[in-house]
């Protein structure tokens, strides 16, 4: 088993999720595409391209489950379509991700002061987002 798979297994187990071939496959697809975000249909097509026999409904259930245990970030585009990307682990530095809604491209900003300032601003507005990766979306023009 390669190091990437071992890391994915550890992430699943630490989140209390049983590692299955389909769950590992979904994480591998998202890891290979990082930092690009993918919707469930794109993940499904990539899994099929890689030879994995699974259903679209299984991919939907897996992405929802992995989001619920905080292994995936969930983002909406302008049309309301859900996209996923890998979530930072608890051991990594806080970051801010800026996403262009039009292109889906993103950039990660590893700026602790910016992250802290945004957390403080959110708290003043009544939102508790401490300990999370913050995603700022740029509107499509």
Binding residues for Fe cation: 91
Give me the helices (H) in 18-111, please: 21-33, 40-49, 56-68
Report the binding-site residues for Zn(2+).
100
Q: How far is CA 104 from CA 46, 52, 64, 72, in A?
A: 17, 26, 20, 16
Residue 133 CB partners (closer than 8 Å, separation 6+):
73, 87, 88, 94, 95, 96, 97
* Interatomic CA distance for residues 122 and 130, integer angstroms: 9
Number of H helices, E strands in the chain: 5, 5
Report the binding-site residues.
91, 100
């Amino acid at each position: 088993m390669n190091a990437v798979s071992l890391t994915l297994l550890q992430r699943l187990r630490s989140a209390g999720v049983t590692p299955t071939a389909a769950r590992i496959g979904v994480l591998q697809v998202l890891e290979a595409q990082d930092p690009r975000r993918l919707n469930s249909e794109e993940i499904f097509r990539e899994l099929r391209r890689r030879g994995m026999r699974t259903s679209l409904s299984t991919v939907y259930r897996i992405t929802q489950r992995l989001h619920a245990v905080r292994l995936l970030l969930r983002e909406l585009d302008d049309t309301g379509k859900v996209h996923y990307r890998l979530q930072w682990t608890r051991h990594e530095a806080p970051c801010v991700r800026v996403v262009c809604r039009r292109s889906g491209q993103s950039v990660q900003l590893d700026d602790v002061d910016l992250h802290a300032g945004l957390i403080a601003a959110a708290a003043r507005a009544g939102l508790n987002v401490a300990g999370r990766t913050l995603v700022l979306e740029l509107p499509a023009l």
